[in-house]
Amino acid sequence: MVSIAVFTMKFYPEGGGGSVATYLILKHLSGCKGLSFTVFTGSKKYANIGRVSVNYVPLLNSSNMAHAWLNIIAHREYFSKLIEKFDVIYIPDFLYPLIDLAAGLNKKTVVHLHGYIPISITSIVYRRDPFKYDAKIVTDMRRIAWYAVAQSNYQRLFLFPSALLLLPIRIWLEETDAIIVVSKKQHEILSSTLPSLSRKLRVIYNPPPEVNIERKELADKPRFLYLGGDSYIKGFQVLVEALYEICTKSILSRSVDFILVNKYSPRSLNALSEIAKLCRHDHVINVVGRVSHYESTNLMRSSWGLLFPSLCEESLSYAVVEALFTGTIPIASMTGGTEEIIPTEFRKYLLIRPSAHELMEKIEKVSSLQKNDIEELGYKLREHVKRILDIETIKREFIRVFTE
């Protein structure tokens, strides 16, 4: 029996896509013969998984990576005692000081990267970033400055010093036994930028989401879903520009509905409201705010397309993956792992260089189809992604990494 300790700051339902992936990985692997899992997390509220023991650790209850590091370093003996009971230490987020403790105890460590933290302290790499293959610390400082200016959020300039944390991160990652990445594109960027880590990298796609929709219930009127909130990196400003053009000019050949999910600031809500007031056509902009995963899945079920004009190299977006599993055509940026999981015939709907003009063009392309065309295309998407993200293949890859 190989005993595996999982250390994470957040555990599902808290956290983002990485937290969802960790939950699904453990759920699928917990029934595997010869493996046992114990989770140590800073989340007070967490989902239970049959054979997995989940334990709340107050010292990991932090939304700040550096603060969690200090807690681990200041309580080395406590964490060493936890680690020594297990064969493998699995770290799916940023608790990298544990690597050093585990190495001192001769324990195997496996790190799971859902972003680009070894080269970008924000874990984000922009698609148009001409320096994304440059590992210099000053390059990441430049990246932070560019993001702050682009967002007109100059408080982010205070993140400058945090780029120095990349130095210990890289040292710790050199000590780990294996690093799991979630797409070939992520592997390519990381291995090209930090060749010393390339031999440790293993590409394993995230498990498929818990979505089971064999048939869509399409709205009669073309409906497009956007899940990114007013996040700059998710392309909100591209969406706003496109909506303004669509609502004030005769851009589309038929009227459509836009459903916007997630968090929006008062300023963003006001901008969307003004665009809706200016609308000369029968288009509808409906901002529903934050919803449960169940509700967002139902919105996917009725939507013709998902709008995902992301500006960053998405390692492997769960939003896009769920769109495929629900038979929803992704009008998504051709970034990161997205292109790897999209069938060739659907790449004509992808955004090559996300802009308002290109987004409008793709919306027109999808909205001009008939309902039965959308249903047929949706079926092809589902069947394709089921083959790509085959859970038995994914399980075998994880077992190999944990036991080899």
Condensed to tens digits (0 to 9), the pLDDT of residues 243-298 reads 999 999 878 889 999 999 999 999 999 999 999 998 888 899 999 999 988 898 88
CA proximity to 27, closest of 7, 5, 47 = 47
Q: Give the Å distances, CA to CA, from 194 to 200, 267, 307.
A: 11, 40, 33
| β-pair partners for 261 | 289
Domain match, 187 and 234 both: no
Domain match, 240 and 356 both: yes
Domain match, 250 and 383 both: yes
Residue 383 covered by a domain: yes
Using the predicted structure, report yes or no on whether residue 91 has a pLDDT greater than 90: yes
Domain match, 270 and 395 both: no
CATH of residue 86's domain is: 3.40.50.2000
What mean pLDDT comes out for the span 7-15? 94
Cβ atoms within 10 Å, residue 336: 26
CB-CB contact of 256 with 224 (8 Å): yes
Total domains, the chain: 2
Hey, what amino acid is at 307?
Answer: L
The boundaries of the domain holding residue 71 are 2-114+176-207+390-403
Domain match, 291 and 382 both: yes
Model pTM? 0.92
Residue 84 covered by a domain: yes
Domain match, 202 and 281 both: no
Domain match, 374 and 398 both: no
What mean pLDDT comes out for the span 386-403? 95
What is the per-residue pLDDT for 154?
65
Question: Between helices 318-325 and 371-388, what is the axis angle to 10°?
Answer: 120
Using the predicted structure, report yes or no on whether residue 212 has a pLDDT greater than 70: no
Residue 121 covered by a domain: no
Residue 147 covered by a domain: no
